[in-house]
Amino acid sequence: MPHHKKKTKSDKHSKKNSKKNSDKQDDNSMKKHFSEESANQANDSNENSDQENRKKEKKITTKFYNKELDKLSIELVKLQEWVKHKGLKVVVIFEGRDAAGKGGTIKAITQFLNPRVCRIVALGTPTEKEKSEWYFQRYVPHLPSAGEMVFFDRSWYNRAGVEKVMGFCTENEYEEFLRSCPEFERMIIRSGIILIKYWFSVSDEVQEKRFLERINDPTKRWKISPMDLESRKRWVEYSKAKDNMFAYTDIKQAPWYDINSDIKKKARLNCITHLLSLIPYEDVHREKLILPPIQDNVGYVRPPLSDQNYIPEVY
């Protein structure tokens, strides 16, 4: 007959501990699995939540938008007069993805302002001569004098965005820009310039919709170019470039302000409201104007109207 070894208390205790350890490892393994799964679900949930929040955002009525814009436009005129009165120098940079609403916001800001005080700068492709210059050199002549506001519809940040992604600059030129830009901005701030930087964020769905509108609408066709279409194919590369740009140039003296521009009218009102909050201003007192009477015509006979070339009155 086979000999059966009698189990001792030690054997039973060892087996019990072994089973506990095994169960514990299984529990830990399951906890780790569910923890990772929860984390992944949380990330997915956050991304989905952001997308859902953007989709749930309600548009505002044109009537409400125009009413609020009229109020803000009055304040913008006051700000303009204050800048002129105090001899301030203001630079506002508008950057962001294509079709994010930068141009429309600039137009909303400047529509009632004096173009001699508030200038828009939208530079084209640099010439061969400009390419050979110090990178910031072509932008310096457009900086404001005392009593001026300058709105840059894209700016020196082209190098950190389109030039980097599309390969229009070398890696050394790109890295030098990231090093030099914060110092350049600190320098112009020390010279007395108020520098404000806005980044307009737009979702890929809304950008696609706006691109299609530009392609199909003859009045908007000029707004889209082959470069815009190429940027669409390089969405992730532009995201990386933007994040890296913020990492280097979001400085204390000139921080970036991000604007959700999926709803254009909201973005414009929010941007104007924020801009007005950044520059303290007062309503400049102006002398009351009295319209004088028209000069009397004594002895002067004007030429007949038939001698002048009037355009046809089609309407």
For the segment 125-151, what is each residue's pLDDT rounded down to a tens digit?
Answer: 999 999 999 999 999 999 999 999 999
For residue 58, the model assigns a pLDDT of 84
52 — pLDDT class (breaks 50, 70, 90): low
For residue 54, the model assigns a pLDDT of 53
Collapsing DSSP to helix, strand or coil, 33 comes out as helix
Distance CA 93, CA 199 (A): 8
Inside any domain, residue 283? no
Q: What is the pTM of this model?
A: 0.80
**Residue 181 belongs to what domain range?**
62-278
Inside any domain, residue 173? yes
Helix ranges (DSSP H) in 135-234: 162-166, 171-190, 204-216, 226-233
What the block records as the tokens of 20 is 């506990």
Q: In terms of pLDDT, which residue wins out, 217 or 34? A: 217
Inside any domain, residue 309? no
CATH of the domain at 259: 3.40.50.300
Q: Once rounded to an integer, what is the mean pLDDT over residues 154-158?
A: 98
Residues sharing a CB contact under 8 Å with residue 269, sequence separation 6 or more, in sequence order: 65, 68, 69, 72
Inside any domain, residue 156? yes
Inside any domain, residue 109? yes
Q: Do residues 73 and 112 touch, judged by C-beta distance below 8 A? A: yes
Inside any domain, residue 294? no
Distance CA 72, CA 268 (A): 10
Helix (H) or strand (E) holding 29: helix 9-56
53 — pLDDT class (breaks 50, 70, 90): low
- Is residue 43 predicted with pLDDT exceeding 50? no
Distance CA 223, CA 211 (A): 9
Q: Is 135 exposed, middle or buried (0-12, 13-18, 19+ CB in 10 A)?
A: buried
Inside any domain, residue 69? yes
Q: Number of structural domains, the chain?
A: 1
Inside any domain, residue 141? yes
Q: Could you give the C-alpha distances from 200 to 103, 155, 258, in angstroms and in order?
A: 11, 14, 6
